[in-house]
Amino acid sequence: MGVLLRGRTRPRPFVPGQRRGPVPAGRPGVVRGDGPVRGGASSPIGTTARRGGPFRAFRSGPRAGPDRRTVATRNGLFRGVGAERVPALLAALVLGLVAPLGAVGPHDPVTPAEEVAAAQDAPPAAQPAPVSSAKPVVLTDIPLAGPGDRRIALTFDDGPDPKWTPQVVNALVKYGAKGTFCMVGSQMEKNPEVVSVVVNAGMRICAHSRTHDEQLAKRDPATIEAEITDVGNRVPGTPVTYFRAPGGNWDKQILDVSVAHAMQPLGWAVDPRDWSRPGTDAIVAAVQKQVKPGAVILLHDGGGTRSQTVEALEKLLPWLAAQGYTTDFP
């Protein structure tokens, strides 16, 4: 096999066609007939030793660049054909992942109208159901915590309407106000996207029957229950904790069925009769005259043209805030 010199075996002179034996473990490199040499070789035929493995013949000679069979990166981690392109590919991958994050940052303020428009495409968000404390009495005022409590409740009947309800929500969002929307089941069926606008804006839903039958108290028990529960059945996952009788026409059976389904009967203390369209200034004056701490205010977002109600809100909301009132749910 060779002569042992200073701890290493010197290979025999290379003879074409003769197989070499295994190479002792050591630093891999190009080996010529006179011993291992680091780096490339200029001989026409040479062999490359792998650490602890056999030789493999290849042709060698001057190249105008790194040998593409083995290319070491800065960290020596990548080998093989095309390895020199790995750092560039990694950089491109990192840029591709980071670039979308750059889009998240300061941008123009979102207007209330844009928030409402975005909410139209989203399904109603699930809300936690509050603990029911419904009682068979009509609630017309919010229970107050003391003399300094100036909360009031804004309620809107007969929607959802595809034109007027989003405008009412816009006004509430603009002034940071809360509203409770007393919806009619048949209107919800026609305008489910508007229901999403209301819920996703953080407002609440009150049941206002399925058909807005003002003679509901005269119907049979099964019809009464179906009318009262219809709205809640249309928004699973969204608590509906109030019921307002159409026309404010209550009787004991309607009160009892509402409470049995964990809905507080809801009335009102302030009625500017905006449904009759008396004029924007008349609506504003009526609310300003009748409002008091705790009052539940009746307004409308459906059942007809509600441009006067929307215009009145633009005047009433800043006025109420200036008087120290805050809006809340009933």
Residues known to be catalytic: 157, 300
Closest CA to 300 of 210, 197, 165: 165
Element (H, E) at 96: helix 86-98
- Asked if omega into 166 is within 30° of 0 (cis), the reply is no
Residue 115 neighbours by CB distance under 10 Å: 16
Element (H, E) at 296: strand 296-300
Contact indicator for 172, 279 with CB cutoff of 8 Å: no
Contact indicator for 193, 200 with CB cutoff of 8 Å: no
DSSP 8-state secondary structure symbol assigned to residue 124:
P
Please name the amino acid found at residue 200.
N
Handedness of CA 306, 275, 277, 273 (dihedral sign): negative
Strands of 30-32's sheet, edge to edge? 35-37, 30-32, 45-49, 55-59
What Å distances lie between residue 279 and 274, 303, 310, 316, CA to CA?
A: 8, 16, 11, 14
Angstrom distance (rounded) from CA 117 to CA 111: 10
